[in-house]
Amino acid sequence: MALFPLISNFEEDFVLQLLPVDTENTMDEVAAAAAYHSVGRRVAARPGCIMRVRRQGSEELLPKSLKVSESGLKPMECVEVVWEAPKHGA
């Protein structure tokens, strides 16, 4: 377990945030940490939607249970946190 700095670019937010997370945090936990700084401040909550993490510039979402230590992310790398609509009929 170690402190790991990322930069958060939260969808619909105009502020990039320094996001200190732990190497054992999952991408769901990274998304929740990013939401703390954006949702309800500059970004409206979206009930029913889930937050997902991806590398900046990528369309591929990182698995929700993937740990920071397993992700290949580098310190101070920028991640995007985006809203994903719930899947109906699943």
- pLDDT tens digit sequence for 40-82: 999 999 998 999 999 999 999 999 999 999 999 999 999 999 9
Residue 90 lies in a domain: no
Structural domain harbouring 34: 3-84
What's the pTM? 0.91
* Residue 50 to residue 66: CA distance in whole angstroms: 16
What's the pLDDT at 86? 80
Residue 61 lies in a domain: yes
Residue 68 lies in a domain: yes
- Indicate which CATH number applies to the domain containing 44: 3.10.20.270
| Tally of structural domains, the chain | 1
Taking only Cα atoms into account, the Rg of the chain, rounded to an integer number of angstroms, comes to: 13
Residue 89 lies in a domain: no
